[in-house]
Structures are given as structure tokens and as C-alpha cells.
Amino acid sequence: MPLSKNILKKESLFCGSFIVLFTIALYLPSLKIPFINDEIYFIQRNEVSTPLNLYTLFEKKDYDGYYYRPLPNLVSGVSFFIFHYNYRYYRIFNVLLHAAAALLVYFFIIELLALPDKKIIALFSAVFFSAFPLHDYSVIWHTDLFDRIMILFYLAGLISFIRNKFKTSAATIIFFTLALLSKEMAFSFPLIIALINFFFNEDKFHFKKSLLKAAPYFIVAAIFIIARIIFFNNDVFTAKDAHSHGHLFDVIKNYIIFSGLLSFPFYIREIQNFVLDNKIFAFSAAAITLTTLAFFLLKYKRRDYPIYFFILFYLITLAPASRLLMRWYLYLPSIGFTALLSYLIFSTVPRKFNLGIIVPVIILFIYSGTLFNKELIWVKQSNASIEALKSFIAENKDEIVRNGEADFITVPAKVNDIPIFQLGFDYLFNYYLGGTKKVKVEALTKSYIKSLSDPITVKTSPTKISLSQTEDNYFILFNNEKNIKFEPINFKNGKLKTLTISLSEVENKILYTFSNGKFYKIKGL
């Protein structure tokens, strides 16, 4: 082997090892996070009695009955046979998948730019992605296995396509199909293939030729959609569920907020509130930005075209999920941002006094510090919440098992933006209740609070129960199975500061609630 190739191989081995070890070290605190949110529900819905029955997971739709994502379900089913209910094993598995994704980001950027001196761009693209503060949900939350599995096949397909000299191959089609079986964001794959052809193939800047190169992948996507409709009675865009609502202005608003979060991924609620409170300003700024981008793309496309590719990568990969504002939707699109950030730094920052390294190192330090601090918050809030739940169960277990049900007026959905009991509370409750006895559990409302010790005032009278929260906190109402009606007061933007319920609605029921860091039974009913 020539000396130059041997050196390049050693460099790649060193960079790859660094990315993996860096990612693992960065997420070590997450190993202390117990099961929360809907993780138990996700694990149990994919349990099968024997490994021979794993194939049945390809026959189910996702938890809401509309999505078809069998591959992550299969991985979850296999994981259960290995990990059972050891939460640390699941956290380790999550981190390893994220490390693998960061590693593929590195190789994708290397293959894309195809220049040995661009390895530093690929390296920082990968570590920026690894340490990006908004990825805490995508990595820590086990239920988001969909994104972690999908991104691996998505990137593997892109790398395979480039290495095959921009030609369609069986490997690329297989990777694309596996990505489609993981999550719907993979539908953006053919457009990214067209972009790669347009910007990076030897025969550049031919729009029609680029679309023709991507045609096989559009065909695969069309076949997949038809198969979903025919064999699984599956709506293409989940037209009947909560994830399908939204209009053009909602999409634009979400793009603005997502872009703000990528640019400044530290104060999530503040950015969302700013956009919602300043719609005209935000829309105007977005329109100017997009118009300017389109102008420069058309006029200067032959110059620094990687910049335009990375921007379009973000815009296109986010499109299938732009109807709702969920931070884990940024997991794949953020590759475009982190690669753009790395590319701009190493292409524009003066090399005097080693600024070319100092600037990205400072950014990486800020990202890592922010993410590490977030993990500590996850650890603190999750453990405190679960301990409060365990303590409540220990004190009231006999009563709850005897009655066969437990009704909570409110439970903490999110604490300091950590999703403690937001989803699947009944499964989580029964898991910590232990044993084979299952009780019916329902949370009539859910509270969003900044601290676990925040008060939720509960007052009872001969006719009603009243609940109120502090200025920064609020209730969210969900459809409850018992059809208990609340009388909301000061309803604004889907949030409630106070609410009341008539005692006649809950006659002869034992009610529980949460406040000041504790679950307790409401007295005097």
C-alpha cells in the first residue's frame, strides 16, 4: 500500500475512533436515567413470546394505528430478549446507535467533498452532530428508536450511492427501503440523491439529468406508498391522526422555529414564544432569507455549491415532518446544519493564530457543555419523579390494587422540559407497581412545570375541585376515557392556568393528584 494511502487510512481510523469515544463519553450521564415517559409502553408493545414470533412485528402499525415502521419495532423486540427491563442496557444501546450515526456523518461528508484536506470539515461535522444540544430527546428517549434506526440506513444509502460513482446499486436501494421501513422522513431520500447528482457529480448543474438519476428511488418510494395503502390500509400522510393537521402557515412557522433552534439551541421555549408573539417579524425575516438564498443559489451555484447543498439538505429532509414542532424531527436535518457550520468555519475563518481550530473547538465546547448540563437535568428530574411515584405506590398499593384503578387529576408531564410522565403513564405506573396485577390508570390532565417542587394548588368545596398553577406553568387537557368534563378558565393557546371539575363528575371515586414534588390522595371527597 502506498505511504499516502496508508496515512489516510490511519487518519480515518483515528478520527472514527475519536468520534465514537467522544460520543460515548458525552452521554455517560444518561446511563443513570430510569424508565420514564412511554418507554415501558414502547418496549411492551413490541414484546413477543419467542424469537420465532418476531416476524409478527412486521404486521403491526405504530402505536397510534397509522404509521408503519416495522424495522424499529423489530429492533425493539430483539432488544427485549437481550436487555429485558434493565434500563441501563437500553441507554447504552441508544448511545451506541448515536455514535454510529455520527460516524456515518463523518464518512458521508468525506465521500461527498472527496478531498483529503476536507477531512477536518468531516470530523467537526460529525462531532458537532454528536454534541448538538437538541439531540437529547433523540438519543436519551428510547421510544425515538425510529429516528436512530432510520438515520443509519439513510446515511448508509447516500454513502453507497456516492461510492458507486453516482450510480444506482442494489445496496443503495436496499438501504433506502430499510430507511423507509423505519420512518417517513426517509421519503426525502430521492430528492437528496438528485441534489448530490446536481452539485457533486462530474456532470454538474443539470437539473433534468439529476432527477433522472434519482428516478429509481422515486419509483421505490411510490411502490412503498402503494404497498402501504393496499396491504396495510395506511394513509400516506397519516391524514386522520393528530400529526396530520396544520396548514401552510403552520409549516412556515415551524420552519422558522426549527431554524432558530438550530442556530441557537439553548432556550427552546423562549424561541418558540418569540416566533409566536412576533409572527410578522419572523415571517418577514424568513421570506427575506429564503429569497436571498434562492438568488445566490441561482447566480453563484458554480462557486461554493457545498453551502447550498447543506442548506437544501436541511430544508428537504425536514419537509416530511414540518407539520408539527417536535425537536427530535431535527435529528436527520441537523446534519445539513452541522456540516454547513463546519464548512463555513474552515472555508472562511482566517488561519492566522490557529483561529481555524480555535473557533470550532469553542463551539464544540459550548455544545458539549450545554448537552452535558441537559443530561444532568434529565438525571435529576427523572430520578426525583420516579422516586416520588415509587413512594406513592408503596404507601397506597393495597388500596389501588383493591380498587383496580387509580385516577389522577393531574400528573407532571414535563419537568423543566424533561418528558417525565407525558405519555404512557398507565404502563409506567403498572411497571413500578410491580407484580402481575394490572390496574387501570388514568391521568385526567397533565401539568407542565419548571421544577418538581412547584406548587399546584388544589382546593375542594362541597360542589367542586379547583386546580391552579403558577404563572410559568400550565395544564394540558386530554380526552379521558371516563369522559369527565372540566370547566377551563383563562384558556389560551391550548394552555390552562386554572381549571375546575364538578364533584358530581367524580362521585364515589378516589382521586389522586400531584404537587410540591409529591403524589397524594385528595382529602375530603
Q: pLDDT by residue (tens digit) across 99-147?
A: 999 999 999 999 998 876 678 899 999 999 999 999 999 999 999 999 9
**In 27-118, which residue ranges form alpha helices assigned H by DSSP?**
39-45, 70-83, 87-113
**Alpha carbons 84 and 98: distance in angstroms, whole number:** 21
pLDDT tens readout for residues 367-426: 999 999 999 999 999 999 999 999 999 999 888 888 888 889 899 999 988 999 988 899
Residues whose CB is less than 8 angstroms from the CB of residue 437 and which lie 6 or more positions away in sequence, other chains included: 401
Q: Between 254 and 196, name the one with better pLDDT.
A: 196
Backbone angles phi, psi at 520, to 5 degrees: -155, 165
Maximum mean pLDDT: which of 1-5, 170-174, 288-292: 170-174
pLDDT reported for residue 234: 55
Residue range 179-206: mean pLDDT, rounded: 90
SS3 category, 251: helix
Q: Is the pLDDT of residue 239 over 50?
A: no
Residue range 161-183: mean pLDDT, rounded: 94
- Residue 108 Cα distances to 112, 123, 162, 336, 431, angstroms: 6, 11, 9, 11, 41
Residue range 54-78: mean pLDDT, rounded: 78
pLDDT reported for residue 133: 92
Grid cell in block for residue 367: 455544545
pLDDT tens readout for residues 80-102: 999 999 999 999 999 999 999 99
Mean pLDDT over the full length of the chain: 84
Specify the pairing of strand 498-502 against strand 486-489: antiparallel
- Residue 78 Cα distances to 27, 73, 98, angstroms: 23, 9, 18
Judge residue 524's burial from the number of C-beta atoms within 10 Å of its C-beta, 0-12 exposed, 13-18 middle, 19 or more buried. exposed
- Residue 419 Cα distances to 70, 105, 416, 429, angstroms: 25, 28, 9, 15
Of the candidate ranges 166-175, 307-316, 504-513, the one whose mean pLDDT is the lowest: 504-513
Can you tell me which residue has the cell 397506597? 396
* H or E element at residue 404: none
- Taking a C-beta distance cutoff of 8 angstroms, is the pair 104, 29 a contact? no
Domain range list for the chain: 3-348, 383-521
pLDDT reported for residue 491: 66
- Taking a C-beta distance cutoff of 8 angstroms, is the pair 458, 409 a contact? yes
Q: Between 498 and 274, name the one with better pLDDT.
A: 498
CA gyration radius, the chain: 25
pLDDT tens readout for residues 423-447: 889 999 999 998 666 899 988 888 9
- Residue 377 Cα distances to 10, 35, 296, 382, 448, angstroms: 38, 15, 42, 8, 15
In one-letter notation, the amino acid at residue 177 is T
Q: Between 200 and 238, name the one with better pLDDT.
A: 200
Identify the DSSP state of 496. B
- Taking a C-beta distance cutoff of 8 angstroms, is the pair 408, 442 a contact? yes
pLDDT reported for residue 58: 77
**Alpha carbons 481 and 467: distance in angstroms, whole number:** 20
Q: Is the pLDDT of residue 243 over 70?
A: no
Q: Is the pLDDT of residue 296 over 50?
A: yes
* H or E element at residue 483: none
